Chain A
Amino acid sequence: MSSILEVSHISKSFQTDFYKKPVKVLNDMSFKIHKSEFIGLIGPNGAGKTTTIKCLLNFIFPDSGKITFENDLDQLSWKKKLGYLPERPYFQEFLTGLEFLQLHWSLAGQKKIDFILRADEVLKMVNLEHAKNKKLKDYSKGMLQRIGIAQAIIAYPSFLILDEPMSGLDPDGRILIKDILKKLKQNQLSVLMSSHLLEDIEELCEKIIIIHAGEILFSGLTSDFKKNYKNLEEAYRAFKKDLIGHQS
């Protein structure tokens, strides 16, 4: 199967203060993402999930290692195929839902003429047709998260990066977002999703990557990881127990 993203041996350190030693956040990390895969990135706070995502998006630059995109594309060409939803997003609240999508449609370099049709399609998908002319400041948290997903998918991406898409949502909001993600899965999109919610990861992702202290501890099928356990949470608990046992 051809990979659309290959990360090989990336490391990243941050200097917290100029007189202190740099703190290593990612350590020799390697993984591949193939077409139409739905991958969950799991790890505790500070494990390096968001840093990994920031490296992939070129917000920060790895100290060493290489990130290769599909067919050796350059960053800008790759970003044409990419959709991204940050953790706890804040958008320009004076724009309406439709204006916000239009901004991202144009930033993605799409033709103006096709916008209305696509916007209707996407708004229907995230169940926000009724609120398209409302200002974003009047949106609830769940609605903001859904309009965030809408901006991520508006320009026909083939790869989605979602950073904690369900964080801080109430159960209804989570169910709605999960339904949207399931629809995306049917559309053969490749998705990399970081989350603390193991139940959601188990439901959505066929592959998982477990990160701890900047290192990949497991990368493979979700079914393989939890095969001897009732669910992903139990398997993760046992895995962490083993890890602590090894470390001590």
Chain B
Amino acid sequence: MMNLTFVNTQEWIRLKFFQTVIYLSFVFILFSYLLSSLSFSENQRLIVDFGLAGVEISSLFVSIFFSSYVLHKEIERKTILVILSRPIPRWKIMISYFLSLTLLNTLLITVLSVTLLAFVFKSVQIDSYIFSILNILLKSLVIGSIGLFISNVARPLFTVVLVFSYWLLAYSVDDIQYFAKKNQMIDGEWLNYFLNYTVPHFYEFNWKTYAFVKSPAILKEVLWSIIHLCLWIVFWLYSASYLFKRKQIV
């Protein structure tokens, strides 16, 4: 399984898409440094807010595109056929895709966050900064595992759209619940209930901000976010493996 993971990772690192994402994210972080010179008092805030948003967006892009295309690409090129003819269970293949995504995003996020840290080293709490970065990584992996699940049944472009919508929803659950309550929507309770149990609560852990990284982290919150996001990853990965086990490779 690990060999398969490394081969997949190698293949994606060689893709122009991945290299372009790294390049653009670098440009984004450098741009945030230039932008900060426009402000006299809040330049650190600008660098951190823009920089961390750049890290999250780039990892989101990699997650969405990797998870939507990896299986489709393997089936289209028939590379999956020789792998499936080997004595490895299908769930291990799905896990190897997930591990490849984890390696890719860890590499991407590490490179970008270390670069960003070089600009804001003096004004952030290192532990909070690390937790914020870990949070971005885990969110990208939740999105990746949902993508792997959907890619079993949908075409890549449709998967991209669905996963992106899901990511937006995960950040907007509280807004939707607020508006449902304000408009006294019928079945608003049910909507609350439904959203609470079907969508991860990204809005609760929106820690890519200067306010979060400049103050000491609250360990209880951090722990809760890690458990919450890991459980979502396990759930979607299990579902993706279940679907893949039943998928007919025509």
Measuring CB to CB, which residues of chain A are less than 8 angstroms from any residue of chain B? 14, 54, 57-61, 76-77, 79-80, 82-86, 88-92, 94-95, 102-104, 106-109, 148, 151, 161
Q: How many A-B residue pairs have CB under 8 A?
A: 69
B88 x A94 contact (CB < 8 A): no
Within 8 A of A (CB), among B63-102: 77-79, 81-89
Question: Complex: how many Å from CA A60 to CA B11?
Answer: 27
A86 x B249 contact (CB < 8 A): no
A92 x B84 contact (CB < 8 A): no
In the complex, the chain A residue whose C-beta lies closest to that of B8 is: A92
What is the total number of residues of chain B having a CB less than 8 Å from a CB of chain A? 21
Which among A61, A79, A94, A103 is the interface contact of B87 at CB below 8 angstroms? Answer: A79
B7 is an interface residue with CB less than 8 A from chain A? yes
A89 x B86 contact (CB < 8 A): no
A190 CB, min distance to chain B CBs, angstroms: 15
0 or 1 for each of B226-240: is its CB under 8 Å from A? (1 = yes): 000000000000000
Contacts of A80 in B (CB 8 A): 87
B249 x A82 contact (CB < 8 A): no
B10 is an interface residue with CB less than 8 A from chain A? yes
A163 CB, min distance to chain B CBs, angstroms: 9
A108 x B3 contact (CB < 8 A): no
B183 is an interface residue with CB less than 8 A from chain A? no
* Known contacts A95-B7, A104-B86, A109-B87: A60-B79 contact under CB 8 Å: no
Besides A79-B87, A80-B87, A89-B82, 4 other CB < 8 A contacts? A76-B88, A103-B4, A107-B3, A151-B82
Contacts of B83 in A (CB 8 A): 107
A184 CB, min distance to chain B CBs, angstroms: 17
A86 x B78 contact (CB < 8 A): yes
A89 x B85 contact (CB < 8 A): no
* Known contacts A76-B89, A90-B78, A92-B11: A61-B3 contact under CB 8 Å: no
Measuring CB to CB, which residues of chain B are less than 8 angstroms from any residue of chain A? 3-4, 7, 10-11, 14, 77-79, 81-89, 248-250
B4 x A92 contact (CB < 8 A): no
B87 x A77 contact (CB < 8 A): yes
Contacts of B89 in A (CB 8 A): 76
Question: Complex: how many Å from CA A14 to CA B14?
Answer: 37
B19 CB, min distance to chain A CBs, angstroms: 14
Question: Complex: how many Å from CA A82 to CA B7?
Answer: 22
Question: Complex: how many Å from CA A148 to CA B79?
Answer: 11
Question: Complex: how many Å from CA A89 to CA B78?
Answer: 7
Contacts of A92 in B (CB 8 A): 7, 11, 79
Contacts of A151 in B (CB 8 A): 82
Contacts of B10 in A (CB 8 A): 94
Question: Complex: how many Å from CA A172 to CA B78?
Answer: 25
Which among A14, A84, A88, A108 is the interface contact of B250 at CB below 8 angstroms? Answer: A14
In the complex, the chain B residue whose C-beta lies closest to that of A86 is: B81
* Known contacts A54-B249, A60-B248, A91-B79: A84-B87 contact under CB 8 Å: no
Contacts of B86 in A (CB 8 A): 79, 104, 107-108
B7 x A60 contact (CB < 8 A): no
A82 x B78 contact (CB < 8 A): no
* Known contacts A84-B81, A94-B11, A151-B82: A103-B3 contact under CB 8 Å: yes
Question: Complex: how many Å from CA A94 to CA B13?
Answer: 11
Question: 9 A-B pairs, CB-CB below 8 angstroms?
Answer: A14-B250, A59-B249, A84-B81, A85-B82, A90-B77, A91-B79, A91-B82, A107-B3, A107-B87
In the complex, the chain B residue whose C-beta lies closest to that of A93 is: B11
Which among B11, B79, B87, B248 is the interface contact of A90 at CB below 8 angstroms? Answer: B79
Contacts of A83 in B (CB 8 A): 85
Which among A86, A89, A103, A161 is the interface contact of B7 at CB below 8 angstroms? Answer: A103
Q: Identify which of B82, B85, B88, B250 gathers the most chain A CB atoms within 10 Å of its CB.
A: B85
In the complex, the chain A residue whose C-beta lies closest to that of B86 is: A107
B75 CB, min distance to chain A CBs, angstroms: 10
Question: Complex: how many Å from CA A104 to CA B7?
Answer: 11
A43 CB, min distance to chain B CBs, angstroms: 18
B72 CB, min distance to chain A CBs, angstroms: 14
A76 x B82 contact (CB < 8 A): no
B87 x A76 contact (CB < 8 A): yes
Contacts of A106 in B (CB 8 A): 3
Question: Complex: how many Å from CA A79 to CA B85?
Answer: 6
A26 CB, min distance to chain B CBs, angstroms: 13
B3 x A57 contact (CB < 8 A): no
In the complex, the chain A residue whose C-beta lies closest to that of B90 is: A58
Question: Complex: how many Å from CA A106 to CA B250?
Answer: 26
Question: Complex: how many Å from CA A60 to CA B83?
Answer: 15
Question: Complex: how many Å from CA A89 to CA B83?
Answer: 12
